[in-house]
Amino acid sequence: MPSLSTTYLITGTLRGTGLEMMHRLLDGGAMVIAACRNLVKATNLCRLQESGLAQGRLRIVQLDVTDDVSITDTIKVVAEPHPRGIDVLIHNTGIADVKGYSKLLDHGRQTILHNINTNVVSPVIITQYFLPLLKTPSADKQLILMVASSSGVAEVYGISKVAVNKMFAELAIDLKDRDITVAGIHPG
Ligand SMILES: NC(=O)c1ccc[n+]([C@@H]2O[C@H](COP(=O)([O-])OP(=O)(O)OC[C@H]3O[C@@H](n4cnc5c(N)ncnc54)[C@H](OP(=O)(O)O)[C@@H]3O)[C@@H](O)[C@H]2O)c1
């Protein structure tokens, strides 16, 4: 059960599982930093921020997971009001940008790279940048959660999600000595 002493940062919170996870965490009493690509579209998050559910525990920040400048800007915005860092980083953002289901051989380099860049490369890069915020001297627990997929029905998406499963296993090994746990979840 989340608590006020637990601060979560979730990526891709405008809709879908990110939005739902955020609701559940707020309901459980956690402090939530909701990262979304486009603040202009975040009217639902702004409404939630003012609602009785959030009670001052929701911060909204801009983050395009594929953009290194956006990532470093987000770190600055998050670090100042959260000097003790964040406890849980949830890599929720994931795309299946394949213009409908079709054969793998139908897709060009840009489509394949775009899906793999967003789903696999971006969580690794964000984890690198966020490590100082995850491991502050006063923090006693840190967790990185990857939203994976058990199957991955669409071909390019499926390839990227197989890579995500292997990627978080590798991150778990890399971060073991720092006492940071890495886990994958399948939302069903
Ligand atoms: N839904 C399922 O049944 C299911 C099953 C298994 C796994 N998953 C996984 O769960 C995660 C979320 O899935 P979903 O169904 O909730 O997807 P979704 O409804 O399409 O939402 C995806 C979210 O990611 C954001 N996003 C996309 N590209 C981004 C970027 N470059 N930077 C920042 N945010 C970006 C989107 O923001 P915009 O509004 O700006 O596009 C949106 O808020 C994914 O990792 C998916 O693979 C979902």
* Average confidence (pLDDT) over 50-61: 95
- 119 phi and psi angles, rounded to 5 deg: -85, -30
Sheet containing 58-62: which strands, arranged edge to edge? 58-62, 31-36, 7-10, 88-91, 142-147, 180-185
* Average confidence (pLDDT) over 95-107: 83
**CB count in 10 Å sphere of residue 114:** 18
Terminal CA-to-CA distance of the chain, rounded, Å? 20
Q: What is the DSSP letter of 8?
A: E
Least confident of 30-39, 107-116, 130-139, 163-172: 130-139
Say yes or no: CB of residue 187 within 6 Å of ligand 1. yes
- pLDDT the model gives residue 100: 72
Arithmetic mean of pLDDT over the chain: 91
Say yes or no: CB of residue 75 within 6 Å of ligand 1. no
Tokens 């599982």 -> residue: 17
Architecture of domain 7-185 in this structure: 3-Layer(aba) Sandwich (3.40)
pTM higher than 0.75: yes
**CB count in 10 Å sphere of residue 79:** 15
Looking from the CA of residue 188, the nearest atom of ligand 1 is: 5
Distance CA 188, CA 176 (A): 27
Say yes or no: CB of residue 184 within 6 Å of ligand 1. no
Distance CA 36, CA 10 (A): 9
- Beta bridge mates, 183: 145
Beta strands in 37-109 (DSSP E): 58-62, 88-91
- pLDDT the model gives residue 146: 86
